[in-house]
Amino acid sequence: MIRKRLHRQIYFAVFLCLVLMVVFSAILFSVVGERGPNNNYRNVFQVVTGLTKYAMPEPDLPLAQQAAAIERLGAELNIAIALFTADGEKIGSYKFKGRQPNFKRLRRKILDGDGDHDEGGWLRNSRGGYSLLLEDGRWFVARPKGFPSRPPLAGVLIWLALITAAIGLGAWPFVKRLTGRLARLQTGVEQIGAGNLSARVPVEGKDEVAALATSFNDAASTIERLINANRQLLANASHELRTPLARVRLGVELMKNGGTPARGAALERDIAELDSLIDEILIMSRLDTGTKPNMNEEIDLLALAAEECARYDTCVLNGENAVVMGSEKLLRRLIRNLVGNAHKHGKPPIDVSISAQGKTAVLTVYDAGDGIPKELREKMFEPFHRAPGKQNVDGYGLGLALVRQIAEAHNGQVQIVDEDGRECVFKVSLPMKNEA
């Protein structure tokens, strides 16, 4: 439907512009065209008027002599001329073809004082050529070549109509192609709406419609990625939630038969674990959908890291102050997950350092553990992924995935590198605050 409507709207808009051009040209022609030849010919007309009156045969000569004189004059000048009586009877002519002018109409124009008066008293004929009323009442008509003459209005309108039709026919395929591309965009939107998240549209050309198609494909890819990530997160979360929920349910049943401090503490740990898992799932979901807390806080990474490193006796912190803009809550979670991951899966000591490298703040976390094989390092940032042999270790595989999301939300990045002879160094790079 959009193709048909827009197709017609664009085409009729083009066609209407052409029609307006024809109407405007006709009005301009009717107004300006009455003014006669341009200034370049005015002096010529004045001279020709004098020569014409001088060369005309006397009106009292016999008509045959007048006709012979007109024929000789036309032959010498090599132009089509004719001489008529005051009543419009032809006296003589030379190469004068076609219908004679309407002298009554020309005389009426002279009496009314309007119309086609050119310099020297010449009147432009509607049938071509120029007419001059002599003092004795005779009419002299000339159709010279090279002098400007106004074509009939009907002919001009026909010519403009033909041009309009030609442009209209030529514009049709271009308008059809444009609306066809928009129709394919509509089809892609409808497919996305119907649930086909892999639908894409071809990018044709290099204009605004092509840019719109590119934006649509980018948006469709983002939507597909987000929905697939949420589906995977929901599926994995539902699976991971069963274990702590089962332990909580069991703990509640045991508490009914008589609670002990140990059972109460275990139940509290299970609830805290469940709460932590739900919190991380919610943070990941909000970051996936672009919902972020206040990202305009000034945070000193060194001070923030000192607070988190104080939770572990085997953690050593060194470095320099580096101020970044972002969310303190998210950056605290980033540092806590990295340090907690090193404490849980690595070996002490845990080295944490903060450095300012140009306009970038760099956070590195290293432990003395066995490290991670290079082929598995990228997978460590996938949600619910656990390294081989770590399935029985506490955690759900969301910590590093959340670290990457938080870093990217702050226009930074995280990677696992080998640095200064140390293997498996977690390195987070964040843009520092711009100093005015």
User: The domain that contains 119 carries what CATH number?
Assistant: 3.30.450
- The CATH number that applies at residue 317 is 3.30.565.10
Q: What are 296-333's pLDDT values in tens digits? A: 889 999 999 999 999 898 899 999 999 999 888 889 88
Residue found by looking up tokens 């193709």 in the block: 3
The answer to the question of residue 132 being in a domain is: yes
Give me the residues paired with residue 432 across strands: 324
Q: Is 113 left (phi over 0), alpha (psi -120 to 50) or beta?
A: left
Mean pLDDT of the chain: 76
Looking at the structure of the chain, the number of domains it has is 3
Q: What percent of the chain clears pLDDT 90, i.e. is strictly above it?
A: 12
The answer to the question of residue 213 being in a domain is: no
Summarize the confidence of residues 355-369 as an average pLDDT.
90
How many secondary structure helices (H) and strands (E) does the chain include? Answer: 10, 12
Summarize the confidence of residues 214-226 as an average pLDDT.
83
Residue 344 predicted with pLDDT over 80: yes
More confident residue, 197 or 37: 197
79 — phi, psi (to 5°)? -135, 160
d(CA 329, CA 319): 21
- Angle among Cα 284, 289, 290 to the nearest 5 degrees reads 95
Give me the residues paired with residue 315 across strands: 350
d(CA 424, CA 415): 9
The answer to the question of residue 142 being in a domain is: yes
Residue 28 has what pLDDT?
64
Residue 341 predicted with pLDDT over 80: yes
The answer to the question of residue 84 being in a domain is: yes
Residue 361 predicted with pLDDT over 60: yes
Whether 277 and 305 map to the same domain: the answer is no
Whether 361 and 331 map to the same domain: the answer is yes
Summarize the confidence of residues 151-172 as an average pLDDT.
69
Residue 345 predicted with pLDDT over 80: yes
Whether 236 and 254 map to the same domain: the answer is yes
Summarize the confidence of residues 74-79 as an average pLDDT.
81
Band of pLDDT at residue 34, cut at 50, 70 and 90 = very low
Q: Is 61 left (phi over 0), alpha (psi -120 to 50) or beta?
A: beta
d(CA 312, CA 352): 12
Whether 396 and 347 map to the same domain: the answer is yes
Q: Which tokens sit at 178?
A: 């444009």
By residue range, what is the domain housing residue 392? 297-431
The answer to the question of residue 219 being in a domain is: no
Peptide bond into 431 cis (omega under 30): no
Task: Of 357, 345, 307, 310, give the one whose Cα is nearest residue 328.
Answer: 307
Residue 302 has what pLDDT?
93
Residue 238 predicted with pLDDT over 90: no
Q: What percent of the chain clears pLDDT 70, i.e. is strictly above it?
A: 70
Whether 244 and 335 map to the same domain: the answer is no
The answer to the question of residue 367 being in a domain is: yes
Helix (H) or strand (E) holding 417: strand 413-419
Q: Strand, helix or coil at 318?
A: strand
Domain end, chosen from 97, 132, 149, is at: 149
Residue 41 has what pLDDT?
47
Residue 299 has what pLDDT?
92
The answer to the question of residue 169 being in a domain is: no
Neighbours of 113 (CB within 10 A): 7
Residue 95 predicted with pLDDT over 70: yes
Q: Which pairs count as long-range contacts for 103-109, CB under 8 Å and 24+ apart, including other chains?
A: 103/131, 103/139, 106/131, 106/133, 106/139, 107/133
The pTM for the full model equals: 0.48
d(CA 50, CA 262): 132
Give me the residues paired with residue 84 across strands: 90, 139
Residue 2 has what pLDDT?
44
Environment class of 305 (CB within 10 Å of its CB; exposed 0-12, middle 13-18, buried 19+): buried
Whether 107 and 132 map to the same domain: the answer is yes
Q: Which tokens sit at 133?
A: 């009323």
Band of pLDDT at residue 76, cut at 50, 70 and 90 = confident
Whether 414 and 319 map to the same domain: the answer is yes
Residue 35 has what pLDDT?
47
Summarize the confidence of residues 393-416 as an average pLDDT.
81
The answer to the question of residue 30 being in a domain is: no
Buried b (16+ CB within 10 A) or exposed e, 158-169: eebeeebeeeee
| DSSP alpha helix (H) spans, 113-207 | 153-193
d(CA 300, CA 309): 14
Band of pLDDT at residue 11, cut at 50, 70 and 90 = low
Report the range out of 43-57, 248-262, 342-356 with the highest average pLDDT: 342-356
Whether 251 and 333 map to the same domain: the answer is no
Mean pLDDT lowest among 256-270, 345-359, 399-413: 256-270
- The CA–CA distances, whole Å, from 152 to 77, 79, 125, 147, 231 equal 26, 22, 10, 16, 76
Summarize the confidence of residues 191-197 as an average pLDDT.
80
Whether 282 and 312 map to the same domain: the answer is no
More confident residue, 348 or 144: 348
Q: What is the DSSP string of 60-107?
A: TS-HHHHHHHHHHHHHHHTSEEEEE-TTS-EEEEES--SPPP-HHHHH
Summarize the confidence of residues 47-72 as an average pLDDT.
78
